[in-house]
A and B are shown apart, each in its own frame.
Chain A
Amino acid sequence: MANHSIVFDKVTKRFPKADKPSVNEVSLQIEEGSFVTILGASGCGKTTLLKMVNRIYEPTSGRIFVEGEDVATVPVTQLRRKIGYVIQQVGLFPHMTIEENIATVPRILGWDNKQIDERIDELLELVHLPPKDFRKRYPRQLSGGQQQRVGLARAMAGNPAIMLMDEPFGAIDAITRASLQDELIQIQRRLHKTILFVTHDIEEALKLGDKIVIMNNGEIQQYDTPFHIITQPANAFVSRLVHSEDVLKRLSVMKAESVMTEIEGTVHPNEIRVSKEENCKTILMHILKSEHDSVIVEDGNQTPVGRVTLAHLKIHEALSQSLSAS
């Protein structure tokens, strides 16, 4: 269990007076440092599942382990101080400035003032809000998207290894949302947090998750990588949910790494270069715009490691289509 950050063991939650459980016998293992999205229709139990991790709700039966410890045995406040929590409604403290909001957990943890001060600047930079401009403002003087960023910064302030996020980008326009998603992906790459991220937006779940939990009626339908969810949906529900007939959506969850082949022949100086992590939808766009039918894939040190051609994309696309059809 060493490298499992969060483990659900047959967890059931039935609210008083409810006729059926909101979360039913869920078992799930979240690897340390992974970004897991929880996807499902409204009322399927996503929030309930999430809130049992930091004991805002107590399970009716079953156990949850965080970093190997049964959460029921850890004092609630202590547990929560090491888990970052971002709620859908943001919930910034309206009577506190942005810096005071962010300082909340570090103060509870008893950090010294200088350390807190540096932490506030660091976090505001991280979420692209210039500290000079924003530290002394009150939440109501910020736009919705800026408030969400502060919410994120505040949740990360105590440097928790685990983050729980409940539709954090729910009420935001598409453009701001996309940029917040990109920021979150980068933050995750850099800081290796374990993130549980609830959403009911399929694109968002596919884009952000290393793995996706698909829920329906309080039960897990599939827990897998975006690629497998799209290409091998576990059942009719999943397949309907991700309606796999969309070519571009399928391409967008394939990474360059998984499609590329060895470089044969010479590399043209003006052949476009992409990173291993780049998705195939973007690669297709590059190819359509360029004079070449291929792109070069590089690793982190800008060393070419492979090539993706239009023909590869066609083959993989056809393959995944036939997989999902079967």
Chain B
Amino acid sequence: MEVAAKAFQYIWENQERFLTAVQVHLTISVTALLVSLLVCIPLGIVCAKSQKIAATVMNSINTFRVIPSLAILVIILPILGTGFVPALVALILLACPPILINTYLGFRGIDPAVIEAASGMGMDERQILRKVEFPLAMPLVIAGGRTAAVEVIASATLAAFIGGGGLGTFIVNGLGMYNFPMLLVGAVPVAILAILSEVCFAGIERWVTRYQRD
């Protein structure tokens, strides 16, 4: 209890610092997620339509995936230096695989008969994409986003190691100074953010799969 009280006290006394950290954490996570979505959804669709591209992209993704997030941060360091941007790049790299793979699977999984019916009725490619393929692939795409979001929020903590700022700063400092309350100041809000993102995505997922329920 004492630890929690001390943590609150720390936040009370360093309100501005705490809020900035939360803000940086959110900014870096949301930006990384948005960029990954914008890049990987179109790329995933292209892969789903072309087996050749798919083979290359999926293979490299799967190789890349085995590298742990901390290692990615460390590898980025000598290339891009320290600060917000290198941390952002690392997080984008982390968020891409689940989104890309799920988008690919989502579009590949559509019953070809449905597509044939759509084009047989005279829908052009854009109409098919917008009205048929997107809505049908959406549940999997969202699931990919959900995985990516949690991974990004958690890994953004590590960004502090390369000077990216955010809530991880408290954790790094707390660990360094054997200051347990300060460690909590970083860790608990990160956990809460991760849970919030889960809840948010679960809601979206329910909404895009409403046709699958009675």
Binding site for B on A (CB under 8 A): 54, 56, 76-81, 85, 87, 89-96, 104-105, 108, 138, 140-141, 151, 154-155
B16 at the A/B interface (Cβ < 8 Å)?
no
Of the candidates B114, B122, B123, B136, the one whose C-beta lies within 8 Å of that of A91 is B114
Docked CA distance A89–B120 (Å): 13
Whether B117 contacts A87 by the Cβ 8 Å rule is yes
Of the candidates B122, B132, B214, the one whose C-beta lies within 8 Å of that of A93 is B132
- Contacting A at CB under 8 A, from B1-34, are none
Docked CA distance A90–B117 (Å): 8
Docked CA distance A108–B120 (Å): 13
Interface residues on B, range: 10 to 19
Given A95-B135, A138-B211, A141-B214, also A104-B121 (CB < 8 A): yes
DSSP class of B's interface residues: helix, strand, loop or mixed? Answer: helix
Q: Please, what's the 1-or-0 string for B186-214, where 1 marks a CB less than 8 Å from any CB in chain A?
A: 00000000000000000000000001101
Docked CA distance A94–B210 (Å): 11
Whether A87 contacts B116 by the Cβ 8 Å rule is yes
B62 at the A/B interface (Cβ < 8 Å)?
no
The chain A residue with its CB closest to the CB of B132 is A93
Q: Please, what's the 1-or-0 string for B106-120, where 1 marks a CB less than 8 Å from any CB in chain A?
A: 000001011011111
Whether A81 contacts B116 by the Cβ 8 Å rule is no
Give chain B nearest CB distance to A165 CB in angstroms: 11
Number of residue pairs A-B, CB distance < 8 angstroms: 65
Q: Which residues of A contact B132 (CB under 8 A)?
A: 93
Give chain B nearest CB distance to A64 CB in angstroms: 16
Q: Which residues of A contact B111 (CB under 8 A)?
A: 89, 91, 94
Docked CA distance A85–B211 (Å): 25
Give chain B nearest CB distance to A272 CB in angstroms: 44
Whether B214 contacts A56 by the Cβ 8 Å rule is no
Q: Which residues of B contact A94 (CB under 8 A)?
A: 111, 114, 136, 211-212
Docked CA distance A49–B3 (Å): 78
Give chain B nearest CB distance to A29 CB in angstroms: 23
Whether A54 contacts B123 by the Cβ 8 Å rule is no
Q: Which residues of B contact A108 (CB under 8 A)?
A: 121-123, 127
Q: Which residues of A contact B124 (CB under 8 A)?
A: 77
Q: Which residues of B contact A154 (CB under 8 A)?
A: 121
Docked CA distance A247–B117 (Å): 40
Whether A85 contacts B121 by the Cβ 8 Å rule is yes
Docked CA distance A105–B120 (Å): 10
Given A108-B127, A138-B211, A141-B214, also A87-B122 (CB < 8 A): no
Docked CA distance A93–B135 (Å): 10
Whether B121 contacts A80 by the Cβ 8 Å rule is yes
Q: Which residues of B contact A81 (CB under 8 A)?
A: 121-122
Docked CA distance A120–B115 (Å): 22
Whether B122 contacts A95 by the Cβ 8 Å rule is no
Docked CA distance A141–B211 (Å): 10
Docked CA distance A76–B127 (Å): 14
- 6 closest A-B pairs (Cβ-Cβ)? A91-B117, A81-B122, A80-B122, A89-B113, A85-B120, A91-B113
Give chain A nearest CB distance to B69 CB in angstroms: 35
Whether A56 contacts B119 by the Cβ 8 Å rule is yes
The chain A residue with its CB closest to the CB of B117 is A91
Of the candidates A89, A105, A138, A141, the one whose C-beta lies within 8 Å of that of B121 is A105
Q: Which residues of A contact B214 (CB under 8 A)?
A: 141
Whether B120 contacts A87 by the Cβ 8 Å rule is yes
Of the candidates A78, A87, A96, the one whose C-beta lies within 8 Å of that of B113 is A87
Give chain A nearest CB distance to B212 CB in angstroms: 7
Residue pairs across A and B with Cβ atoms less than 8 A apart, 6 shown, are: A87-B113, A90-B113, A91-B116, A92-B117, A94-B212, A141-B214
Docked CA distance A155–B135 (Å): 21
Whether B120 contacts A80 by the Cβ 8 Å rule is yes
Given A94-B136, A94-B211, also A85-B117 (CB < 8 A): yes
Docked CA distance A260–B65 (Å): 80
* 4 more A-B residue pairs beyond the given contacts A77-B122, A79-B122, A87-B117, with a C-beta to C-beta distance below 8 A: A92-B117, A93-B136, A95-B211, A151-B117
Given A94-B136, A140-B212, A141-B214, also A77-B123 (CB < 8 A): yes
Give chain B nearest CB distance to A78 CB in angstroms: 7
The chain B residue with its CB closest to the CB of A141 is B214
Q: Which residues of B contact A141 (CB under 8 A)?
A: 214
